[in-house]
Amino acid sequence: MGRLVKTFWWVFFGVPVLLVISLYGLYSHGTERQHRHEVVTLGTQTTARVVKSSGIESVLVTWTDLGGRSQTAEAWTGKPFARLARAGQDAAIKYVPKSNLKPVILSEAAERDRVNEWWIARDAWMALAMTIICAVIAWMVLTGKNRARGM
pLDDT, tens digit, 9 for 90 and up, residues 59-111: 999 999 988 999 999 999 999 999 998 999 999 999 999 889 999 999 999 99
What domains, with CATH codes, occur in the chain?
13-136 (2.40.50.140)
pLDDT, tens digit, 9 for 90 and up, residues 106-149: 999 999 999 999 999 998 998 888 888 878 877 877 777 555 55
Q: Do the Cβ atoms of 104 and 36 come closer than 8 Å?
A: yes
State the pLDDT confidence band at 19, using cuts at 50, 70 and 90.
confident
Using CA atoms, how far residue 66 sits from 59, 60, 150, in Å, is: 22, 19, 75
Q: Do the Cβ atoms of 59 and 75 come closer than 8 Å?
A: yes
Q: Do the Cβ atoms of 39 and 94 come closer than 8 Å?
A: yes
Q: How far apart are CA 147 and CA 143, in angstroms?
A: 6
> For 26, what's the count of Cα atoms within 13 Å in the CB-facing half-sphere?
14
Residue 20 has a pLDDT of 87
Q: Point out the least confidently predicted range of 8-17, 33-42, 50-59.
A: 8-17
Q: Do the Cβ atoms of 66 and 94 come closer than 8 Å?
A: no
Length of the chain, in residues: 151
DSSP SS3 for 48:
strand
